[in-house]
Amino acid sequence: MCYDYKTLTADIDRLGYDFIERTLIGKSVEGREINCITIGGGRRTTLIAAAFHGLESITAAAVMRFAADYAAHITSGEMFFGKSAARLFVRNTLHIVPMVNPDGVNIAAHGIDPSNPVHSELIGMAGICDFKREWQANARGVDLNHNYDARWDAIKEGPSPTKYGGEYPESEPETRAVTGFVRRVRPDALIALHSQGREIYRDFNGYCPAGARETAHKMAAESGYAVRHPTGTAAFGGCKDWFIHEFDRPGFTIEIGYGKNPLPLNMLDEIYEEIARLLLSAMA
């Protein structure tokens, strides 16, 4: 079982609170909607984005569970993992983009029927691959976490299931959906969710903006995740790299859960609390 675009759309529709705003921030290569859910109107603004990679849809399931849970606690007035949700709601504006790469998630979740022309196109472009085990990219074989303008490098020469940075930075509509929205709302902090590793990354190119160290420590203390430094291809072209580079504000990559991607969706029951605590600790 996988948390795909259809499940996400149904979950967004179900979030029927009048204090939750939904914004269409862009569309994928195949025309799927990329939505943002906004909760609260407080001064401190945090943007959380998930499912950049096809095999990592558990991150979308995690933020949607968090959004629903947060909204329910705002309404009930009950404590949310030891914090007052009502108070957080007043102080914070939380933007959540649950699925940056809906096409890639669908390719990884369902594969592609060989009768579909996209099947031969992708296999021709990217080489033979097992979509359900390997597909991380969007529907054009671009890895959306290598397509940002931060020491961008194509890394690979052409379309691939993973790690091809595209023809140029922000060449992909999914990337531009995120950068356009972020440039508009200018959040104080950005959190990009990936799987897996139980790790927190907080710097870009050896640089760490003011306040990022403290927040990373809080998140680590709440979740038990380790703060690490990126190496190799994980070190540039990513969403948090670009955010740090362009805004000089704290940007984080969080690798949730532990195991081999795709992590089974039922793992979320085990790891939800650590993720929720981590996200809450990043808010004011």
Determine, following the binding rule CB under 5 A, whether residue 240 of this chain makes contact with Zn ion: no
**Residue 80: CB partners within 8 Å, gap ≥ 6?**
69, 70, 73, 88, 276, 280
DSSP H stretches of helix in 77-157: 85-91, 102-110, 117-126, 131-134
Of 230, 279, 284, nearest to 256 by C-alpha is 279
Q: Which is nearer to Zn ion, 194 or 240 (CB)?
A: 194
Q: How far is the CB of 81 from Zn ion (least distance, A)?
A: 25
Q: How far is the CB of 143 from Zn ion (least distance, A)?
A: 9
**163-172 — which CB contacts under 8 Å span 24+ positions?**
163/136, 163/233, 164/137, 165/237, 166/142, 169/237, 171/142, 171/147, 172/29, 172/138, 172/140, 172/142, 172/144, 172/147
DSSP designation for 144: T
Q: Which helix (H) or strand (E) holds 252?
A: strand 251-256
With beta carbons less than 8 A apart as the criterion, state whether 253 and 59 touch. Answer: no
Q: Which stretch binds Zn ion (CB under 5 A): 93-101, 146-154, 189-197, 269-277?
A: 189-197
Q: Which is nearer to Zn ion, 95 or 194 (CB)?
A: 194
Q: Which stretch binds Zn ion (CB under 5 A): 46-54, 115-123, 175-183, 212-220?
A: 46-54
Q: Which is nearer to Zn ion, 35 or 136 (CB)?
A: 136
Closest residue to Zn ion, judged by C-beta, is 194
**Segment 192-211, which members bind Zn ion (CB under 5 A)?**
194
Q: Which is nearer to Zn ion, 11 or 56 (CB)?
A: 56
Q: Which stretch binds Zn ion (CB under 5 A): 30-38, 52-60, 120-128, 234-242?
A: 52-60
Q: How far is the CB of 193 from Zn ion (least distance, A)?
A: 8
- Tokens, residue 234: 């994980």
Q: Which is nearer to Zn ion, 55 or 67 (CB)?
A: 55
Q: How far is the CB of 233 from Zn ion (least distance, A)?
A: 11
Q: How far is the CB of 52 from Zn ion (least distance, A)?
A: 5
Alpha-carbon distance of 262 to 268, in angstroms, equals 12
Q: How far is the CB of 197 from Zn ion (least distance, A)?
A: 10
- Tokens, residue 207: 């640089």
Cα of 185 vs its chain's centroid, Å: 17
Determine, following the binding rule CB under 5 A, whether residue 53 of this chain makes contact with Zn ion: yes
Q: Which stretch binds Zn ion (CB under 5 A): 56-64, 106-114, 169-177, 202-210?
A: 56-64
Q: How far is the CB of 128 from Zn ion (least distance, A)?
A: 22
Total interface residues for Zn ion by CB under 5 A: 3
* Residues at the interface with Zn ion (CB under 5 A): 53, 56, 194
